[in-house]
Chain A
């Protein structure tokens, strides 16, 4: 029934004095073919939603779902962190002591639910923020937020509202004044510039954040008094020291002092050493010990069988002693001990590598090797 020639507007707003008038008008105008009926009030007016026939708000359902989700998330994470990912025993409690997770589960549930209720209402249901909504540009708005009650016919689907018809209807409903928001909606105050500015600000913020993060991470640990315990005021093994003149943290033992287990080796000649007797009993474990130590320190030169034939010989032409020869087989333990202590020919001293009993153990094993070379019937058990 609206002729296309007539003037069209984005919205036609009528202002009322009292909420009752608004309600009455809303009920009457409801479902009008002229456009979408919308009401604006300074505060929530009761029964307006019924008058306009709005659907119930779905917020409750959303909040419930998110709340449950929050609770589940919190509990699952706590359980995973404490019982699955890295269980740490504290206070003798079981890693799966779920009772302890209840408080945080509750808090997170509330957090999720609240954020849903608040932000969901604003952003999802009310489609805010929308600071360039045409309505905000209207003169009526400041009356509305103060003390007027507005009823508006708004263009749905962009083809506008028939101004005259709408005016007529709204005035009939007893609106004191009517405002027409022309179509197309008046362009908001340079939203493009605004958006550009916003974008620029965001980029700048990101760059700034990046730089500051970098520097903070780089310098943060160095700032006093923040200690991260990397500096330990003590002298570890092999560390330098500004205190001693030679700059070494490790000190030589004082001349002439004898530490426990470090009796100096006073014997000068093999002949002297010949007196020494092997203090260790010839037992299986001594033999075993000797075997291991021989393998570690001696075998590389003297060979598996003590025959002095090893890769060294082939590779470098070195000639380690053949330990099986008669002279050595007959030599007393002491002389061999002496050789281990002070070295022989090309062989260096092994006093540092082998402790006293270890040397004797090696000698036992060496004897076994020598016997093994020319074993007699009687040796076979």
Chain B
């Protein structure tokens, strides 16, 4: 009868309940915000966008992996012949750059936040003045590989008097190589295996797996990855490289090779090694190539190209780098700035270069600034240059930008955004387009499309739309690469230029921060240098002999003086360094940026503006100071202490068959019903470039802990690249060994966990239940490989957007006090299994790709199902070279390593 009030009471009760529920609600109750308009993307499933990672005039074709339209990972473009699915280290890591909280979020006018209307309006008068007065506008940019951008700038040049300086502060001339058919490679101070260009590593690695191995010689002063991998290293002062090349040229021309002996003697090289090298080259005419390092002098470059000409490598194995990539030298920049200081420019626009930081002559820079009335900066951050420019235009990240590029082998490659601009930013080209006089121009995307419709698109095939979308889809225009003109070689005997005594200092872009533009990227800062294992900063690498002579020790600060230009920098005593030669990386010691500021030392001030080879400094002097700093190194011991860890054998002595190791065990044999995941790593192919480390970091939400924690020994990388030195003196080599969780069947870590937080899956995975872990750290103690990582502090969980947007939603974020380690990318395994299941089939071999394997430019890592008899991982695991690290401990690791093969010259060759 009392229906109506009962309804009231019911509602009231509901309200009370709701209120109560609200009262004791936990944070972030699941709230769902779906797409309003359904795009092609499926929530929870990754999408891939073909794009380009442009860097210093080089275009790296990549695939950007997005989740719900947010980039979370970068891979190589699998359809592109220049990347073959491999992306370089910095491309993978620059995801973090996209979500960098330091990024400019809107244009600034005189340091105050502004909008585009105002900002552009502030620059236009200067441009109009230029148009009237004819006083040119200075446009300083980095080198670019984009034809359309060049066209655009040319167009702008037609619109107003423009003097365009295109400058890369850290890199010399770039090589274009294809090592695929190279049987003998001679590097003159050239680090071709640094992973900078994945395809080089890939080609090299392909020729190092059994069969007939290629042979690698490295003639260098420092100790580079290439040198560490070389079959023969010749320690030679960089200033003598030209002479060495010429000596080889002469030796090739006269079979006696008498000229070599003299050269060998005066440079302390082994005669028979040098003779052997010459003979080897002679044997392999047409299949041998010499590479000249970016730091070397012009004459060395000439000598090497002459050598290549004689080897018949021109055009086949090397190609003259296209004009655009060759950035104008420091000299031109200096002239431009001189002009600026004399007030010859009506305005200056700095786009993608940071002269305030990277131009050596600070005084001249100041004068130049004073001489220019209006200064504008187009960039991502408020960096040194931006601080001194009245106008700062916030630029798009490359993942938000359009573009087209010429890849190394001349393919036209398209760059498309994977996400709309995060902030109120424009891409550089759009800014220029808005500065044209007359009618407003279309946005750059349409400009680009228009350009392609006119220049590239050839009627005949389908409509332009289908052509255009096809190119965007694949990321490149499938068309025969334009043959690059073989350069004419002017035979000219390089007379060794008189080198002043004192040290020779070779400067190269830092592997991680390059010319300094990635200084704000924590992942990159924390990547250990493959050879020195230094993170968070640069150091001056000094040979043991010199260190002994000057009484230097690691971390001791020295004053480096090169012709009056001096900086103070800590030293790192490094074995393998040629006595009398110093090496150091550029790009550190930034003055701005929350992460970059004060990390390492800025070495640009050492550069000589008038030198043709600014990155090779001669007559350098060292004066030790009292100060000592603690370098953040991740590996303190460099030798294997006679332990059988990373094997390296000459191909002649390579094992013919797998020697059986049966370790007695008391444990029952485990059976794995469906799969048994396993991995194999070929040390012969691995060059130690560390791309796997970054890929893993990006895939698995691995925190970056900062220099202090690294010094304490608490870096978090799930996969690390161990580097062990072999041999002595000139014969010094290094073998790199990727070390990750070995997923042992009888895992010592599992037994000792008191709460079962780590245990074994029926697929042979050693798995961690993060939220069950109480953090006794016993497992880590009991891990023979020390691959377990502990969250000593709260590294990640208190991070906020935008930083956390880089996190992979598929992977749990670990809080403080929890142990973590490599999972064999279990999330990817599960994905593949689901896909296979929906398609009603089994998992195919090679379908599961852990991030490290996917990123490895050498394809040295193979992952798969050991229960599948025909899987690659199975065949690798049974390889005669195969072995398991610390097998005698009896943990039955699931990772097999294949011993490194070296290919030294036959016969007894003394190393020089």
Q: Within the complex, what minimum Cβ distance (angstroms) separates B717 from chain A? A: 19
State whether the Cβ of A46 lies closer than 8 Å to any Cβ in chain B.
no
A238-250 to B contact mask, C-beta < 8 Å, 1/0: 1111110001111
Asked if B416 contacts A254 (CB within 8 A), the reply is yes
A131 at the B interface (CB under 8 A): no
Assess whether A234 is in contact with B24, with CB atoms less than 8 Å apart. no
Contact residues in A for B69 (Cβ distance below 8 Å) = 250-253
A352, CB-defined interface residue at 8 Å = yes
Which residues 31-52 of B have a CB within 8 angstroms of A? 31-35, 37-41, 43-44, 47-50
Q: A91-B748, A92-B667, A256-B445 are in contact. Are A243 and B473 (CB under 8 A)?
A: no
Given contacts A89-B670, A94-B668, contact A239 B39 (CB under 8 A): no
Count class of interface residues, chain B: 35 or more
- Min CB distance A104 to B, Å, is 12
A284 CB-CB contact with B under 8 Å: no
Asked if B776 is an interface residue, CB under 8 A from chain A, the answer is: no
Considering the complex, give the chain A residue whose CB is closest to the CB of B801. A243
Residue of B420, B465, B745 near A92 (CB, 8 A) is B745
**B contact residues around A264 at 8 Å (CB):** 465, 469
Take A238-B33, A243-B801, A266-B463 as given contacts and tell me if A227 and B816 are in contact as well, using a CB distance cutoff of 8 Å: yes
Stretch at the interface among B237-245, B339-347, B498-506, B751-759: B751-759
Cβ–Cβ < 8 Å partners of A260 in chain B:
47-50, 63, 473
A90 near B: Cβ within 8 Å?
yes
C-alpha gap A225/B809 in the complex (Å): 23
Q: Which residues of A contact B770 (CB under 8 A)?
A: 229
Cross-chain contact B33 with A225 (CB below 8 angstroms): no
Q: Which residues of A contact B400 (CB under 8 A)?
A: 254
Give Cα A241–Cα B803 distance, bound, in whole angstroms: 12
**Nearest opposing residue in chain A for B807, CB measure:** A234
List, in ascending order, chain B residues with CB within 8 A of A239's CB: 30-33
Evaluate contact between B416 and A91: CB separation under 8 angstroms: no
Contact A254 B31, CB 8 Å, known A90-B759, A229-B815 = no
Q: A90-B751, A254-B420 are in contact. Are A242 and B40 (CB under 8 A)?
A: no
From B445, B449, B472, B802, give the contact of A258 (CB < 8 A). Answer: B472
Instruction: Answer yes or no: A262 CB below 8 A from chain B CBs.
Output: yes
Contact A234 B745 (CB under 8 A): no
Neighbour of A257 across the interface among B26, B418, B758, CB < 8 A: B418
CA distance in complex: A266, B179 (Å) = 41
Which residues in A have their C-beta under 8 angstroms from that of B750? Answer: 89-92
Residues 211-226 of A contacting B (Cβ, < 8 Å): 218, 221-222, 225
- State whether A233 touches B804 (Cβ < 8 A): yes
Q: Are the CB atoms of B751 and A93 closer together than 8 Å?
A: yes
- A259 contacts the other chain (CB 8 A): yes
B98 to chain A, nearest CB (A): 12
Contact in complex: B753, A90 (CB < 8 Å): yes
B667 touches A233 (CB 8 A): no
**Counting CB contacts under 8 A, is B609 at the interface?**
no
Q: Is B466 an interface residue (CB 8 A)?
A: yes
- Residue of B31, B419, B473 near A263 (CB, 8 A) is B473
* Separation of A240 and B68 alpha carbons in the complex (Å): 12
A329 sits at the interface (CB 8 A) = no
Q: Is B647 close to A, CB under 8 A?
A: no
Name which residue of chain B comes closest to A250, CB basis.
B68
A237 and B473: CB pair below 8 A?
no
Q: Bound state CA distance, A250 and B747, in angstroms?
A: 40
Cβ-based interface call for A376 (8 A): no
- Contact present for B892 and A92 (CB under 8 Å): yes
Interface of chain A, main secondary structure: loop
Q: Per a CB cutoff under 8 Å, which of A91, A236, A254 touches B751?
A: A91
Q: What residues on A are CB-neighbors of B28 within 8 Å? A: 230-231
Q: A91-B748, A235-B807 are in contact. Are A251 and B68 (CB under 8 A)?
A: yes
Cα(A243)–Cα(B798), bound, Å: 16
Asked whether, in the complex, the Cβ of B804 is within 8 Å of the Cβ of A253, the reply is no
Is residue B70 within 8 Å, beta carbon to beta carbon, of the partner chain?
yes
Q: Does A232 contact B (CB under 8 A)?
A: yes
Q: Which of A89, A91, A255 lies at the interface centre, i.e. has the most chain B CB atoms within 10 A of its CB?
A: A91
Say yes or no: is B154 at the interface (Cβ < 8 Å to chain A): no
Alpha-carbon gap, A222 to B748, bound state (A): 35
- A88 an interface residue at 8 Å Cβ cutoff? yes
Q: How far is the CB of B405 from chain A (nearest CB, A)?
A: 16
B105 to chain A, nearest CB (A): 11
Closest residue of A by beta carbon distance from B462: A266
Across the interface, B808 reaches (CB within 8 A) one of A234, A252, A262, A266, namely A234
Q: Interface code A152-176, partner B: CB below 8 Å = 1, 0 otherwise?
A: 0000000000000000000000000
Task: Check if B26 sits within 8 Å of A230, measured CB to CB.
Answer: yes
For A218, A222, A225, A237, the residue with the greatest tally of chain B CB atoms inside 10 Å of its CB is A237
Interface presence of A56 (CB below 8 A):
no
Could you tell me if A88 and B805 are in contact, using CB atoms closer than 8 angstroms? no
Q: Shortest Cβ distance from B27 into chain A, in angstroms?
A: 6
Q: Nearest Cβ distance between residue B321 and chain A, in whole angstroms?
A: 30
A228 within 8 A of B: yes
What residue in chain A is nearest B747 (Cβ atoms)? A91
How far, in whole Å, are A352 and B40 apart by their CA atoms in the complex?
Answer: 6
A227 to B815, CA, bound (A): 7
List residues of A (58-101) whose CB comes within 8 Å of B's CBs.
88-94
Q: How far is B796's CA from A232's CA once the two chains are assembled, in angstroms? A: 9
B60-104 contact mask (Cβ, 8 Å, vs A): 1 or 0: 000100111110000000000000000000000000000000000
The answer to whether A92 and B760 have CB atoms under 8 Å apart is yes
Interface core residue of A221, A230, A252 (most chain B CB under 10 Å): A252
Interface mask (B456-494 → A, CB under 8 Å = 1, otherwise 0): 000000010110011011000000000000000000000
- Known A91-B751, A260-B63; contact A248-B33, beta-carbon cutoff 8 A: yes
B40 touches A259 (CB 8 A): yes
Contacts of A249 in B (CB 8 A): 33, 68, 70
Tell me if B110 counts as interface (CB < 8 A to partner A): no
B813 within 8 A of A: yes
Q: Give 1 or 0 for each of B775-811: 1 = CB within 8 Å of chain A CB.
A: 0000000000000000000101111111011011101
Measured in the bound complex, the distance between the Cα atoms of B64 and A253 in whole Å is 12
Verify if B701 is at the interface (C-beta below 8 Å from A): yes
How close is A99's CB to chain B, nearest CB, in angstroms? 10
A263 engages B469 (CB within 8 Å): yes
> Do B420 and A233 have beta carbons less than 8 Å apart?
no
B771 interface residue (CB < 8 Å to A): yes
Could you tell me if B804 and A254 are in contact, using CB atoms closer than 8 angstroms? no
Verify B416–A257 contact, CB threshold 8 A. yes
Judged by a CB distance under 8 angstroms, whether B812 is at the interface is yes
Interface string of B803-831 (1 = CB under 8 A from A): 01101110111111110000000000000
CA distance in complex: A263, B49 (Å): 11
The reply to whether B667 and A262 form a contact with Cβ atoms under 8 Å apart is no
Q: Does B203 contact A (CB under 8 A)?
A: no
Report yes or no: B67 in contact with A237, Cβ–Cβ below 8 A: yes
A279 CB to closest chain B CB, in angstroms? 15
In the complex, are the beta carbons of B794 and A92 less than 8 A apart?
Answer: no
Chain B residues with Cβ below 8 Å from A257 are 49, 416-418, 472
24 A-B pairs with CB atoms under 8 Å apart are: A89-B760, A91-B750, A222-B26, A227-B794, A229-B771, A229-B815, A231-B28, A234-B701, A235-B68, A237-B67, A237-B68, A239-B31, A243-B802, A249-B33, A251-B69, A252-B39, A255-B445, A258-B469, A259-B48, A260-B50, A262-B40, A264-B469, A266-B466, A352-B38
Since A232-B813, A257-B49 are in contact, a sample of 10 more A-B pairs with Cβ atoms closer than 8 Å, ordered by chain A residue number, is A221-B26, A234-B809, A247-B33, A249-B70, A253-B47, A257-B417, A258-B416, A259-B41, A259-B49, A352-B40
Question: Which A positions have Cβ atoms within 8 angstroms of B?
Answer: 88-94, 218, 221-222, 225, 227-243, 247-264, 266, 352
- Sorted nearest first, the 9 A-B pairs with minimum C-beta distance are A251-B69, A91-B751, A92-B746, A234-B807, A243-B801, A90-B750, A250-B68, A237-B43, A258-B472
Binding site for A on B (CB under 8 A): 24, 26-28, 30-35, 37-41, 43-44, 47-50, 63, 66-70, 400, 416-420, 445, 449, 463, 465-466, 469-470, 472-473, 667-668, 670, 701, 745-751, 753, 756, 758-760, 770-771, 794, 796-802, 804-805, 807-809, 811-818, 892
